[in-house]
Structure 1
Amino acid sequence: MVKILHGDTVESYALILGFFDKLVESNPGTCIALEMDDSGHFKFCFMAFGASIEGWKYCRPIISVDGTFLKCKFGGIPLTASSQDSNNQIFPLAFAIVDSENDASWTWHVSIVFSDVEYCVCTEHLLSNLKLHFKDPLLDKYFFSCTYAYTVEELEYHMRCMESVCSNIRDYLSSVGFEKWSRTYSRRRRYRMMTSNCAESVHSVFKDLRELPVATMLCSIKDVLQKWFYERSKAAFTMKSHLTCWAENILHKDSNLSVPVSDRH
Structure 2
Amino acid sequence: MDAVKSWQPRTMVDSHTCSREHKLRLFNARWLSRKLQKTIRENPNVKGVDIRDKFSRKWNIAISKNMAYRARAHASDEVVGSFIKQYNRIYDYAHELLARNPGSTIKVKVDPVNGKPIFRRFYACLKACKDSFGSCRPIIGLDGAFLRGRHHGELLTVVGRDANDQMLPLAYAIIEVVNKDTWTWFLELLIEDLGGPDVCSGLTIMSDQQKGLRQAVQDVVPAIAQRFCVRHLYANFRKKFPRKNLKKLMWRAALATHPQQWENIMRSIKEVNEDAFRHLMSLPPRFWSRSRFTTTAKSDTLVNNMSEAFNSVLVNTRTKPIITMLEEIRLYMMKRWATNRTRAASFKSSICPKILSRLQKESLLTKHWVPSWSTHKLFEVRHVSQTGDNFVVDIDQYSCSCRKWSISGIPCAHALAVMKLLNIDAQQFIPACFTKSAYEEIYSSVIFPINGNNLWEVTEYLDVMPPSKRQMPRRPKKKRRLEQWEL
TM-score normalised by the shorter chain: which range applies? 0.7 to 0.9
CA RMSD for the aligned pairs?
2.5
Deviations 1:49-98 (A, max 9, x none): 22221111232321111111111111111111112211121111111111
Q: In the alignment, which residue of structure 2 is the partner of 1:5?
A: 79
Within the candidate set 315, 325, 347, 1:207 is matched to: 315
Are 2:153 and 1:46 aligned?
Answer: no
Q: Which residue is 1:247 aligned to?
A: 355
Please say which of residues 179-188 and 141-150 is displaced more in the overlay: 179-188
Aligned pairs for 1:40-119 (under 5 A) are 40-114=117-191, 115=197, 116=221, 117-119=224-226
1:172 aligns with 2:279: yes
The alpha-carbon deviation at position 241 of structure 1 amounts to 4.6
2:362, 2:236 → 1: CA distance? 38
Displacement of 1:254 after TM fit?
6.5
Q: 1:237 to 1:54 in 2, by over 3 A?
A: farther
SS of the residue corresponding to residue 168 of structure 2 reads strand
Query: Alpha-carbon deviations, 1:143-192, whole Å to 9, x = none?
Result: 11111212111101111122222322333233333222222223565612
**Shift in Å, 1:236:** 2.4
- CA distance in 2 between partners of 1:98 and 1:69 (Å): 10
Report the secondary structure of 2:109's partner residue: strand
Q: Distance in 2 between matches of 1:171 and 1:76?
A: 36
CA apart distance, 1:229: 0.3
Alignment CA distance shift 1:5-1:216 (3 Å): same
1:232 aligns with 2:325: no
Task: Report the CA distance shift for 1:139/1:258 in structure 2 as closer, same or farther (over 3 A).
Answer: closer
Name the structure 1 match of 2:439. none
Question: Is residue 64–residue 195 contact of structure 1 (8 Å, CA) maintained in 2?
Answer: no
TM, length-normalised to structure 1: 0.88
Q: CA deviation at 1:118?
A: 2.9
Q: Greater Rg, structure 1 or structure 2?
A: 2
Which residue of 131, 138, 149 maps to 2:256?
149
Q: What's the secondary structure of 1:79's corresponding residue?
A: strand
- Aligned counterpart for 1:22 among listed residues 96, 111, 124: 96
**Unmatched runs of 5 consecutive residues or more in structure 2:** 1-74, 192-196, 198-220, 368-419, 423-487
Given that residues 62 and 193 in structure 1 are in contact (C-alpha distance below 8 angstroms), is that contact kept between their aligned partners in structure 2? Answer: no
CA distance 1:121–1:258, change in 2 (3 Å): closer
Against the structure 1 CA distance between its residues 88 and 129, is the aligned structure 2 distance closer, same or farther, given a 3 Å change threshold?
Answer: same
Structure 2 CA distance for partners of 1:187 and 1:242, relative to 1, 3 Å: closer
Q: Deviations over 1:216-259 (max 9, x none)?
A: 10011111110000011112255565422333444566678878
Q: Distance in 1 between matches of 2:227 and 2:365?
A: 36
Number of residue pairs matched? Answer: 262
8 A contact 2:171–2:190 mirrored in 1:
no
Q: Using the alignment, how far apart are the partners of 1:62 and 1:43 within structure 2? A: 29
Residue 119 of structure 1 and its aligned partner are, at CA, apart by: 3.0
Answer with 107-116 or 46-55: which moved more. Answer: 107-116
CA 1:93 to 1:238, structure 2 compared with 1: closer, same or farther past 3 Å?
same
Amino acid at match of 2:239: L
1:135 paired residue number: 242
Query: Does the aligned pair in 2 maintain the 1:66–1:199 contact within 8 Å?
Result: yes
Report if the CA contact (8 A) 2:136-2:161 is conserved.
yes
**Mapped partners of 2:189, 2:342: distance in 1:** 30
Percent identical pairs in the alignment equals 27
**Equivalent in the alignment of 2:12:** none
Q: Which has the higher contact order (CA 8 A, sep 6+)?
A: 1
